[in-house]
Structure 1
């Protein structure tokens, strides 16, 4: 009995102590429901201790907000305005804070471990998460399902519009994981390094595929969903060279363009035709040098566009020597050759104006898997905090493209006398050209485009984008139809929080000189329409 009494007294004392501790905590700076936006020290008590509570509570914390709680002890996120122009935009509601440019981590404005991620927050108080934080390694990503309603009906019939290849369907556009270490480009006192691996799975793989890297899915099987790795690179940042030199080596997003392959990097769910038939990735080494506050120079040596280094110099047997490929062997990918990228970027002191002039994938321009000789520019202008405009125009071409009007050329293709004949590449092979006459075996195929996005920030969580573009597929090599196109669309980008966004839109496409829609070359179905109306929407859930 005595032992029971002692036990009871002990339990009572323990209970009273717990109540007292709870009472003390309720009087502290973070009572239950404490707001980390008002007091950052409340963040951990708000989130909890176990992984799943922290993961869910972080979404709950940011719901309806346009940014994460600010850590007052965090170092400056960018160099002072005397050294770099101010950020022109914010995300939300835009897909970027700096005017887009590829091939580099943004210079002077990047800190390690700076990505706002529910997954990393949930991991942060675990041993693994603490090790990752100490090493400045982050793992995060997103899932992006979407769907469309279209006037097209044939499977694959939305093409040449993208990224909704199949009309009237719901699909997984992309599921992406980033494994990365961002180099610190704000500091100036030490060499830093970084890397990124970015596996992707979903319908969008068909737009990022490089010949020779898991490309059998698209080129031999025409799978609806597939996987790819559009980014796999390392980086070294050397701050002692002028205002900073960054070297990137591996496979990376090509340096031109307003848009990018990864869903969160775009104003709208769909992509412009300007982007759809563009350079996507290069593999090699890219140097980006901040000369001063206003100027950045870029130069690179790569193995072509969507071309793998192991295809450089590789050959396959030629069972039908011919005037186009006269030897007993022929290149596996004629576009896999040493190639040059060049870029110059100017940004005004205010950050309101930005110009990028770029040449990408430059070599002999011979017909290759995606050997596009890209010359063009992008221009951004911010009118005020609500309005800005993004403009892009470029010309790209390939030389010695087989002439589909010439019967001899058609026989060469059918007989296996080119690297991209159906015997080797039964689906989604590079297109031939519809030249000016049937006389030559081949000709130069060109593509010209002009694109505009007009963007309005309706609220800190809402962006309205209007897109207008004109493109001309002079020889039909890019889209399969020799015609010019006019496209216009409007989209709404609404963020529920920095982690969840939706993007409904509607676009109208018109081919001006021939039918181009509601066909499928892989199925042997010719286009039957000269227009398409496509309404679509997606939801991006970041983690």
Structure 2
């Protein structure tokens, strides 16, 4: 009889427990996509469980669960949101130099790491301060028609052919200012260290640049972004002031892997301005018009090189004094830009003059004039176009024997005695008689993008560039390039990007060489298949 009573009690307890679970809004953890209050029960209590479960939660979805209590993510009268992440690398048409005005809320980045930490004292402090810590790792591999080490250049972001590599591992420490509200001044910052092969493209002369310029390391570290921001809403529709090192404006592409349609980069971007260091002001005059103005110290240049001089062991017609500027491009420079966006958000134009100064031959002292245009046809199709001209003045003429003698004797800031690897190229001037000339570079780039599903984007890239004097790529030639890539997201946290691209130098051999190793290029073309995987955290 006792056993029968105990069995009855046990069955009753099981029944009550089942009834309680059924009545609970989050039975067995629940589904946060159906009931946001189930998020914490679903994730669990310990860090590792929450971290893993967040990936599990978002798998197969194109967005995180929506918090019904979240404030509006953009001003209600602002131009429409043109795109979505996934499947594209951005929601707003890129312009750079400022956190997007009118559409940014603090703590708005979807991050498994932040979700895992959110129930710890440290995570709660970060949330209270609206500081987020997140990032990604991005390994890749390529198959190429080139065979020489470094022989994929001037194609970029896969420098060495037929290799598997770590493109970049990046972590952000960030506070986003609230640019939706208009009732108080807000502030933000971003610190973004990077490690991997891609450091060779972000390196600024004077900031850990010994890795590339003195040692030619395959992998290295850099800090392409380290800036603070102040948002002042009382000036027209809002004024953002950014100071520090930041990404140059206004390109379609960017150094950081998730900000691009494809794993590789166009040649247009490869030989572009990458970062500026200084101060940038971005003013939303109206909801449609944004104006930008900046004062920087050139491009890929550090403030402590401004005015710095080194010994000149071989005074000459180009550098006649006993000392010379360590980096002639490290000087006060002005950036001006204007942006127009249609009410629908479907059209966007940016016109910019970036880092303009006297244009002396510097490490990367690029005088950039150009712009971008975006047009959204419908929810499936949009196009991105960029064109610019950049130049440098008084670039050493490598066709002139006297100029070459000056270079080899240490009579320039970029002679091998100072910069043994990856120094800026000289120019192949029209006249052999001159010691120097102006070197120009002209580009035209187009991306055509198709949203196949909410998790799939197909991008076709076509471009033409003309390296008039060979200063940018080391070869005086015109190039055409075309490629197609598939960006597939398994979730908002994991994406893969297989692609294939074909490059053609029309006038001279440009591929399968390496100037650092003294190997001349011996091919006019390159066919490169490439794939990477980005794992966000």
Q: TM-score, with normalisation over the residues of structure 1?
A: 0.96
**1:76 lines up with 2:39 in the alignment:** no
Q: CA deviation at 1:32?
A: 1.3
Match 1:426 to one of 420, 423, 433: 420
Tell me, in whole angstroms, the C-alpha distance in 2 between the residues paired with 1:20 and 1:45: 20
**1:207 lines up with 2:197 in the alignment:** no
Aligned residue for 1:305, secondary structure, equals coil
Q: CA deviation at 1:55?
A: 0.4
Once the two structures are superposed, residues 243-286 of structure 1 have per-residue CA deviations (whole angstroms, 9 ceiling, x without a partner) of 00000000000012100000000000000000000000000000
| Aligned position for 1:6 | none
Q: CA deviation at 1:488?
A: 0.2
- For the structure 1 residues 15 and 470, does the alpha-carbon distance in structure 2 shift closer, same or farther, using more than 3 Å as the test? same
Tell me, in whole angstroms, the C-alpha distance in 2 between the residues paired with 1:116 and 1:17: 40
- For the structure 1 residues 19 and 197, does the alpha-carbon distance in structure 2 shift closer, same or farther, using more than 3 Å as the test? farther
**1:293 lines up with 2:287 in the alignment:** yes
Tell me, in whole angstroms, the C-alpha distance in 1 between the residues paired with 2:350 and 2:304: 31
Match 2:180 to one of 172, 186, 189: 186
Q: CA deviation at 1:314?
A: 0.3
Tell me, in whole angstroms, the C-alpha distance in 1 between the residues paired with 2:9 and 2:183: 57
**1:46 lines up with 2:42 in the alignment:** yes
Give the 5 Å matches for 1:254-293.
254-293=248-287
Q: CA deviation at 1:320?
A: 0.7
Match 1:458 to one of 446, 452, 455: 452
Q: CA deviation at 1:26?
A: 3.8
Match 1:362 to one of 356, 361, 369: 356
Q: CA deviation at 1:115?
A: 0.0
Once the two structures are superposed, residues 488-512 of structure 1 have per-residue CA deviations (whole angstroms, 9 ceiling, x without a partner) of 0000000000000000000000000
Once the two structures are superposed, residues 16-58 of structure 1 have per-residue CA deviations (whole angstroms, 9 ceiling, x without a partner) of 9898567523421110151111111111111111111110000
- For the structure 1 residues 18 and 441, does the alpha-carbon distance in structure 2 shift closer, same or farther, using more than 3 Å as the test? farther
- For the structure 1 residues 17 and 214, does the alpha-carbon distance in structure 2 shift closer, same or farther, using more than 3 Å as the test? farther
| Aligned position for 1:371 | 365
| Aligned position for 1:389 | 383
- Note if contact 1:454-1:465 (Cα within 8 Å) is conserved in structure 2: yes
| Aligned position for 1:496 | 490
Q: CA deviation at 1:160?
A: 0.1
Tell me, in whole angstroms, the C-alpha distance in 2 between the residues paired with 1:22 and 1:72: 29
- For the structure 1 residues 234 and 18, does the alpha-carbon distance in structure 2 shift closer, same or farther, using more than 3 Å as the test? farther
Give the 5 Å matches for 1:294-313.
294-313=288-307
Aligned residue for 2:27, secondary structure, equals coil
Give the 5 Å matches for 1:5-44.
20=16, 23-44=19-40
Q: CA deviation at 1:15?
A: 12
Q: TM-score, with normalisation over the residues of structure 2?
A: 0.97
| Aligned position for 2:5 | none
| Aligned position for 1:62 | 58
Give the CA RMSD over aligned residues: 1.7
| Aligned position for 1:526 | 520
Tell me, in whole angstroms, the C-alpha distance in 1 between the residues paired with 2:176 and 2:60: 28
Match 2:327 to one of 323, 326, 333: 333
| Aligned position for 1:3 | none
Q: CA deviation at 1:14?
A: 12
Aligned residue for 1:32, secondary structure, equals helix
Once the two structures are superposed, residues 515-539 of structure 1 have per-residue CA deviations (whole angstroms, 9 ceiling, x without a partner) of 0000000000000100000000000
Aligned residue for 2:298, secondary structure, equals strand
| Aligned position for 1:540 | 534
Unaligned runs of 5+ in 1: 1-11
Aligned residue for 2:483, secondary structure, equals strand
Tell me, in whole angstroms, the C-alpha distance in 2 between the residues paired with 1:177 and 1:28: 38
- For the structure 1 residues 13 and 236, does the alpha-carbon distance in structure 2 shift closer, same or farther, using more than 3 Å as the test? farther
- For the structure 1 residues 107 and 329, does the alpha-carbon distance in structure 2 shift closer, same or farther, using more than 3 Å as the test? same
- For the structure 1 residues 14 and 290, does the alpha-carbon distance in structure 2 shift closer, same or farther, using more than 3 Å as the test? farther
- Note if contact 1:154-1:519 (Cα within 8 Å) is conserved in structure 2: yes
Aligned residue for 2:87, secondary structure, equals coil
Aligned residue for 2:124, secondary structure, equals helix
- For the structure 1 residues 284 and 498, does the alpha-carbon distance in structure 2 shift closer, same or farther, using more than 3 Å as the test? same
| Aligned position for 1:8 | none
Tell me, in whole angstroms, the C-alpha distance in 2 between the residues paired with 1:319 and 1:17: 91
Once the two structures are superposed, residues 129-157 of structure 1 have per-residue CA deviations (whole angstroms, 9 ceiling, x without a partner) of 00000000000000000010000000000
Match 1:107 to one of 97, 101, 106: 101
**1:151 lines up with 2:151 in the alignment:** no
Tell me, in whole angstroms, the C-alpha distance in 1 between the residues paired with 2:16 and 2:230: 54
Tell me, in whole angstroms, the C-alpha distance in 1 between the residues paired with 2:162 and 2:383: 31
**1:116 lines up with 2:110 in the alignment:** yes
Once the two structures are superposed, residues 365-413 of structure 1 have per-residue CA deviations (whole angstroms, 9 ceiling, x without a partner) of 0000000000001000000000000000000000000000111100000
Tell me, in whole angstroms, the C-alpha distance in 2 between the residues paired with 1:15 and 1:77: 50
- Note if contact 1:26-1:32 (Cα within 8 Å) is conserved in structure 2: no
Once the two structures are superposed, residues 207-239 of structure 1 have per-residue CA deviations (whole angstroms, 9 ceiling, x without a partner) of 000000000000000000000000000000000
